[in-house]
Amino acid sequence: MPIKPWRHALIRTGSVLALLVMLLGCTPSDNNKLDAIKRAGELVVLTRNSPTTYYEGPDGYTGIEYDLALAFAKQLDVKLKMVVPERFADILPMIARGEGQIAAAGITVTPNRQQQVRFSPPYQDIRQQVVYRRGTTLPPAGIKDLPGRHLEIVAGTSYEEGLQQLKLLVPELHWTTHGKVETEELLQQVQEELLELTIADSHIVALSRRFHTDLDVAFDISEPEQLAWAFPLDEDDSLYRAAEDFFNDLRTSGELAHLLEKYYGASTRFNPINLAVFAQRIADTLVNYQPLFEQAGNTHKLDWRLLAAMSYQESFWNPKAISPTGVRGMMMLTNATAEHLGVKDREDPEQSIAGGARYLRQLIDRLPRRIREPDRTWMGLAAYNVGVHHLEDARIITQNQGGNPDKWNDVKERLPLLAKSAWFSKTKYGYARGYEPVQFVNRIRLYSDVLKKIDQETRAVTKSDALKLRLPAL
């Protein structure tokens, strides 16, 4: 049967398309946004510099948004490029214009914003909170107490959006906005009595209160809200779908919970009064022993600030400390452990710190190699408190319950079970006060974070002074 002319044309057209696809090395489906990113080999993410998003710490870039974006980039097998616009208020308009592929900046999902951008599945629940400095101002009890108070917020945030809605109910409500500062800076101004009130998301408040111990929450100004990534509103949803799968997998595997625990776990469990005393003892006492912690840290490849935090939790940096059970010294060593470590005088600060550091290193090294940091260190600390055998019992319970025995976030939930007869009767090593190592690790993590913050600020000031000394005289 002869081929009709229109079929000849169709065949020729198909042949040309096939030839072009072959020459270009792609298929028609490779023209979507996700494939373009993979071909370029780079994922561009808009963010902001803050402790709750993305910043450069002593060990390199960090922050929950950075960790999430880096994991997503690795899943796509591309490099990550983090871009920080000048103002937070610029981020969503830039995404809407296609000047970035994702916005990962601690962005709250709101109805107004959903008209500008498309949001990924949420990864964290937060609340907006009114914050004041304890002891210097009468805390407002509710929204009706805000008129007449000095309230400042960051421009372009969900706080501004929320206040505009509240102003419909309370017309006398007034506030000041700032375009080139971060929420953390306003919280610091409240701490320093330069500002009466501000509004911040609960996770930002939690982190800030670790270092600004006089900050307090007057009341929540919003219902629970959600944080998510933002994408441009367009017909090509290939990148969005990949991110949707990414977050669903993180949630299902438990990795999202582990990541939230890493950044916010310790900050949700603190006592401001204890931290205030801690800050005072850093100035009064730690200076006398810091060289010993640094030396022990270098010898045993441990962060000296972690060792100092551990010692504070154990003895409040008191060389003569002694417990009712007989453990003593700055690192609270038992007599048997001291003999094992070769510590002859437990009340000698140098011997105690060196011995405690060596013992912690031994405990960490005994753990299975597959356990990664920081879980490895947290479990080593737990073993220092409760013993490696009880820790192993808790890890076995964790595995039997379907948890991950190599993740501290999972194991810490089972450690308290060692104090319950229904559980410890089934373990190899029996009863233990399993809630104690959980509290032990939580407090050390908190104290360590404070020491790192202070150490980082001190080094920055020292570096600044050194630069000033090199400047030529005018």
Q: Which two tokens stand for residue 70?
A: 């880096």
Asked if residue 215 lies in contact with residue 208, where contact means CB atoms within 8 angstroms, the answer is yes
Please state the φ and ψ torsions of residue 323, each to the nearest 5 degrees: -100, 165
Integer Cα distance of 214 and 445 in angstroms: 20
Asked if residue 429 lies in contact with residue 386, where contact means CB atoms within 8 angstroms, the answer is no
Q: Within a 13 Å sphere around the CA of 15, how many CA atoms are in the beta-carbon half?
A: 6
At residue 240, what is the residue type?
A: Y
Write out the catalytic residue numbers.
Answer: 314
Asked if residue 141 lies in contact with residue 219, where contact means CB atoms within 8 angstroms, the answer is yes
Helix (H) or strand (E) holding 79: strand 79-83
DSSP 88: G
Which of 108, 101, 51, 26 lies closest to 456 in space, CA to CA? 51
Q: What is the CA radius of gyration of the chain?
A: 28
DSSP 58: T
Residue 32 φ/ψ region, left for φ over 0, alpha for ψ in the -120 to 50 degree band, beta for the rest: beta
Asked if residue 216 lies in contact with residue 208, where contact means CB atoms within 8 angstroms, the answer is no
DSSP 6: H
Q: What are the distances in angstroms from CA 415 to CA 99, 359, 387, 420?
A: 48, 21, 12, 10
Q: How many CB atoms within 10 Å of residue 222?
A: 20
Q: What interhelical angle do 375-386 and 349-366 show, nearest 10?
A: 120
Which of 364, 365, 349 lies closest to 441 in space, CA to CA? 364
Q: Which two tokens stand for residue 241?
A: 């779908």
Q: Which two tokens stand for residue 188?
A: 């610091």
